């Protein structure tokens, strides 16, 4: 009789923790909301691009290649369906990350080019757009960091014992995470070149 009561008491207390089911749900929702925030900030950056391109074109219309590069990269980003389901599909996630990375590269090429146009740099509208772009890039970084943390909590939650049993039972898999592109490129130090840039074509 006593043994029965003991087992019942232990089971009752165990049910308070649900052996992790609620924890998995909570973490899953946090990953979803962190991912929505990341998408939100990427969208904000994509929305800035047309204004930026127009403002630069006003002063530097001969830089056609670079401007076209930015516009194309933005179109590519817009064509990828960015949904909350991306976190569950590592292949699609990697494609999304690659497209955003291309936009980043195109934008930095554009910024390098604008260094040659002092008139552009002193334009107030361009200055505002630049600060908006920097702010958005920072927000993207913060959102990504929070997403990475949320995914880490979630993945750890479904991999540690005993919650991994619950996860296996209900079919919860690990979620996709951001990877560092071009790891090899980053690990070599960039070459700094102070030779004077070629004069801008007039």
Quick one: which segment of 55-63, 123-131, 172-180, 188-196 binds other proteins (CB under 8 A)? 123-131
Confirm or reject binding of residue 127 to other proteins (CB under 8 A): yes
Long-range contacts of 62-71 (CB under 8 A, 24+ apart): 62/201, 63/113, 66/106, 66/109, 66/110, 66/113, 67/110, 69/106, 69/109, 69/110, 70/103, 70/106, 70/107, 70/109, 70/110
For tokens 């590269």, what's the residue? 105
Confirm or reject binding of residue 27 to other proteins (CB under 8 A): no
- For 199, the token pair is 């004069």
Smallest distance, other proteins to C-beta of residue 124, A:
9
Confirm or reject binding of residue 23 to other proteins (CB under 8 A): yes
Confirm or reject binding of residue 142 to other proteins (CB under 8 A): yes
- Distance separating alpha carbons of residues 121 and 106, to the nearest angstrom: 18
Residues with Cβ within 8 Å of 151's Cβ and at least 6 positions away in sequence, in order, are 31, 34, 87, 175, 176, 177
Among 20, 27, 66, 77, the residue binding other proteins under the rule CB under 8 A is 20
Binding mask 34-73 for other proteins (x = CB under 8 A): ---x------------------------------------
User: Based on CB atoms, which residue is closest to other proteins, 6 or 72?
Assistant: 6
DSSP 190: P
Smallest distance, other proteins to C-beta of residue 123, A:
13
- Residues making contact with other proteins (CB under 8 A): 2-3, 5-7, 9-14, 16-17, 19-20, 23, 37, 127-128, 131-132, 134-136, 138-143, 161-162
């Amino acid at each position: 009789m006593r043994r029965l009561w003991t087992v019942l008491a232990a089971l009752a207390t165990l049910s308070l923790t649900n052996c992790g089911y609620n924890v998995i749900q909570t973490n899953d929702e946090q990953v979803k909301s962190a991912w929505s925030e990341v998408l939100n900030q990427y969208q904000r950056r994509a929305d800035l691009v047309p204004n930026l391109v127009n403002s630069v074109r006003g002063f530097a219309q001969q830089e056609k290649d670079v401007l076209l590069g930015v516009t194309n990269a933005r179109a590519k980003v817009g064509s990828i369906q960015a949904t909350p389901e991306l976190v569950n599909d590592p292949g699609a996630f990697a494609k999304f990350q690659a497209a955003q990375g291309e936009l980043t590269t195109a934008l930095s090429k554009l910024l390098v080019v604008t260094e040659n146009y002092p008139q552009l740099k002193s334009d107030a509208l361009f200055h505002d757009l630049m600060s908006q772009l920097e702010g958005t890039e920072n927000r993207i970084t913060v959102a990504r960091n929070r997403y990475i943390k949320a995914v880490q909590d979630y993945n750890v939650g479904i991999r540690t014992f005993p919650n991994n049993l619950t996860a296996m039972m209900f079919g919860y898999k690990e979620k996709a995470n951001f990877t560092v592109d071009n790891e090899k490129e980053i690990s070599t130090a960039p070459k700094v070149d102070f030779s004077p840039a070629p004069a801008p074509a007039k």
